[in-house]
Structure 1
């Protein structure tokens, strides 16, 4: 197994202890971070995308995606409590399967977080455009609010928010942790208002036909709506900043997922029951175009009367306006406009943490994790991430971005499920303050669920995933394989290269330590 270059858990834990971040986060903060990462474009925007793929059967999609994420969360909870270090699935894979598979997982996490941030930026753009139109009467040119996929040139609002969040992460602000908590409350209140108004207005006729495109469509929609649950795993990337991680990490993971699942099902019932969510069908071909395609854009442009929910870029606000609550719909759009940037921030933050740990292990150039002398943030990797997020948000549709991001996420979740089974065999006596119940049932089901959803991703998303993985492997064999700490015999803590950058960066700019100074 030496050829696999497995890094021992003892070495990983000791390295993290020596070069650790300040532990300042409790269970409540982690739950808020988890909810802040989960509730975002997925529910505010992708509800319309899922409706186009499955119609009312998207309720089954929510359940299926939640089950797969719940199974993966149970696996994450045990691993994060047993190995409370940064790096998430990348670190777990390094300790279990070795360096090359750890690289594949880490590279997939980069795809997950960066593309997810782009998708959220595009989702924010739809709500921002709606707010400007309904509050200020300003209607931006279509060429500047849509990418080429919808007949436009560039999604300028998505570009602006991506640049703004990048600047925030580079500079850092003392208030950002508090702002994140406030925005979580705003998002929860917005969804609560929608549920209170839309669910009582539900009519049974709107649920018929329940599966207009067949049973397979519900699984296909689940592969898209899965994005709505992504974000809880970002909690585990903050393990080194968590007080009593053996207790608080599992609480943060599971509590945030349970709370968000309950909201999502209620929101789905409200959208379908109060307004309807039947897919648009091309009269010529008799098929339902894929969301974000030019064919779908043409059908929506030709639609007469009230705009179907599947054509809306601000689905929840649109539904409230159409069922008689235009003022509250506008306020919900405004709330989404204020709140969604926090998800962009969380996703970009999570990627910098994965990059940071990979750089510490020598698999990426150490310069990527260089700390800014004034702002004390990893400014280089943040700017690189921000540039990639900005370009993707400028030109690609939210549905395709979400599907591509899901490919990276499902890869990471799959290896987490395998890792927990492997560690139960190889390290049966290691302390586990949280043990996954029925692990030999839960973990295989989690792995199988990930494979199922990956199989229903669009061919574009699958092609991007495998292409990205191939690029990553080329980079690994040209650079990381010969320069990693393990390859250079620096696996032990007392032999670590002193030039490896210390992890002196707070989990979010301005998290305060008990002593009153910024971490």
Structure 2
């Protein structure tokens, strides 16, 4: 039952509704544990390390290593919270659904609104970075580059970023074909890009010089903190695992396990890459440079062959992130639509492919626009602040659910409770503090728009309010 003054949907009702949707006309449980880990790696490893590393280095210098550790700690504490909630409430809505079950509908809507930044806007940022390495690959193999007018955003020497639009449309095509096909493609691409990053470390360490790490923090503690805020973008996506809750076999066990394995593996790889990169080449020559990993490999080997391999890996890696993050966005919109907080078109599932076809194409087309015309740095900062805000709320949700439903079955429990979730909140706020004032102002406006949409549209159409707490779940309409 909802608490006084709040519209709260119980975990049991959320799970029951997701189960109802599986009776022959909804999502199907086809994803196993290995595919789920690959999906997590696919959602994380991409633009942040292949493209964003140079921007992080420009802020922190060799101290970027500490920046990555701070970002990783933030994710580890929050990953504990996602793991507990993902096992207790195995549904597609991720942090939106967890908030609905603990803090109420209004806060849940704002979390879902912020998830448009984490998933929708971030897929635009990822797509922008894909074009940089595609150009690097074309230059190394055929000696031709896409003209800047068709590969950059306005204000950065271009008119429209065509590669960014193309990769989003290709991901949409694969997603509407079916989850099984998408999961297999993501698994293959995840293995390829991890192999490429291991190869990069092996090459870069051959040119390692300890002198390149001095001075370690040329911009001081402030530079490391600002770098950590940017480095956090490299970890965005691990929570996408929880958006697959309704399509995973044995989700109460496999969702928490996949989250913890994924974040641990990625944190280790990122720390190795940052040490190898900054040891191989002076930070002043890396900071702010496009396709930084290819640049470092060229420097270490004295040829372009290694950078060609890195570029291939980056093209594959970033494409898989587009696929995984777009998947997550469509499932969150589906959950919000199922609750009446978004138009019903987002919950319709094709009986032929068991995928939300219209939802997928709307997401692809809408977020292709910022990918085509907005510079990467603008998109990146908004993605980071929105994601950090959501993760802070998720840590609070763990505490709230422990108090409201101590009896709820949990396959995984946050260690060192309540210290770990409180530290998760603190780290999120610290990284948010390191973002520019302009980003804070833009985020404040974004939240005000979300609050207005809830009051004027979603609040009146909420199925929880219209039908009452005990009303049976309504199944999504088929196409």
Q: 1:19 & 1:384 partners in 2: Cα distance?
A: 22
Q: 1:398 & 1:425 partners in 2: Cα distance?
A: 41
Displacement, 1:6?
1.1
Q: Is 2:61 the partner of 1:83?
A: no
Q: Please, what is the CA RMSD of the aligned residues?
A: 1.8
Q: Is 2:400 the partner of 1:425?
A: no
What SS does the corresponding residue of 2:274 show, helix, strand or coil? helix
Q: Is 2:126 the partner of 1:120?
A: yes
Tell me if structure 1 keeps the 8 A contact 2:57–2:288.
no
- Paired residues for 1:338-487 under 5 Å: 338-372=316-350, 375-487=353-465
Cα separation, partners in 2 of 1:132 and 1:84, compared to 1, 3 Å: same
What SS does the corresponding residue of 2:217 show, helix, strand or coil? coil
Tell me if structure 1 keeps the 8 A contact 2:37–2:258.
yes
The Cα offsets for residues 158-202 of structure 1, whole Å up to 9 and x where unpaired, read as 122223223333455864322211111110110010011112321
Q: 1:188 & 1:82 partners in 2: Cα distance?
A: 30
User: Which aligned runs of 4 or more in structure 1 are off by greater than 6 angstroms?
Assistant: none
**Match of residue 52 from structure 1:** 58
**Match of residue 193 from structure 1:** 199
Q: 2:166 & 2:34 partners in 1: Cα distance?
A: 31
**Match of residue 11 from structure 1:** 13
Displacement, 1:248?
1.0
Give the TM-score taking structure 2 as reference length: 0.94
The Cα offsets for residues 375-431 of structure 1, whole Å up to 9 and x where unpaired, read as 553232222211232111112232332221112211211111001111111111222
- Paired residues for 1:42-441 under 5 Å: 42-172=48-178, 175-278=181-284, 308-324=285-301, 325-372=303-350, 375-441=353-419
**Match of residue 4 from structure 2:** 2
**Match of residue 299 from structure 1:** none
The Cα offsets for residues 451-498 of structure 1, whole Å up to 9 and x where unpaired, read as 11112122333233222222111111111101111110243353x34x
Cα separation, partners in 2 of 1:242 and 1:374, compared to 1, 3 Å: closer
The Cα offsets for residues 39-72 of structure 1, whole Å up to 9 and x where unpaired, read as 1111111110101111111111100000000000
Displacement, 1:140?
2.6
The Cα offsets for residues 310-364 of structure 1, whole Å up to 9 and x where unpaired, read as 2432111111012225202111101211332111011111000000000000111
What SS does the corresponding residue of 1:201 show, helix, strand or coil? coil
Q: 1:460 & 1:48 partners in 2: Cα distance?
A: 21
Q: 2:412 & 2:348 partners in 1: Cα distance?
A: 35
Q: 1:156 & 1:464 partners in 2: Cα distance?
A: 26
Moved more, 124-133 or 375-384: 375-384
Q: 1:144 & 1:375 partners in 2: Cα distance?
A: 34
What SS does the corresponding residue of 2:464 show, helix, strand or coil? coil
Q: How many residues align?
A: 472
Tell me if structure 1 keeps the 8 A contact 2:175–2:182.
no
Tell me if structure 2 keeps the 8 A contact 1:485–1:491.
no
Tell me if structure 1 keeps the 8 A contact 2:31–2:180.
no
**Match of residue 38 from structure 1:** 44
**Match of residue 467 from structure 2:** 489
Cα separation, partners in 2 of 1:174 and 1:431, compared to 1, 3 Å: closer
Tell me if structure 1 keeps the 8 A contact 2:174–2:181.
no
Q: 2:406 & 2:57 partners in 1: Cα distance?
A: 45
Cα separation, partners in 2 of 1:460 and 1:383, compared to 1, 3 Å: farther
Tell me if structure 2 keeps the 8 A contact 1:37–1:234.
yes
Moved more, 333-342 or 34-43: 333-342
Tell me if structure 2 keeps the 8 A contact 1:62–1:222.
yes
Tell me if structure 2 keeps the 8 A contact 1:11–1:493.
no
Tell me if structure 1 keeps the 8 A contact 2:186–2:324.
no
Q: 2:258 & 2:180 partners in 1: Cα distance?
A: 23
The Cα offsets for residues 69-113 of structure 1, whole Å up to 9 and x where unpaired, read as 000000111111111111011111001011000001111112210
Give the TM-score taking structure 1 as reference length: 0.87
What SS does the corresponding residue of 1:432 show, helix, strand or coil? coil
Displacement, 1:373?
6.3
Displacement, 1:153?
2.0
Q: 1:347 & 1:30 partners in 2: Cα distance?
A: 13
- Paired residues for 1:20-35 under 5 Å: 20=22, 21-35=27-41
Q: 2:351 & 2:86 partners in 1: Cα distance?
A: 31
Tell me if structure 1 keeps the 8 A contact 2:35–2:183.
no
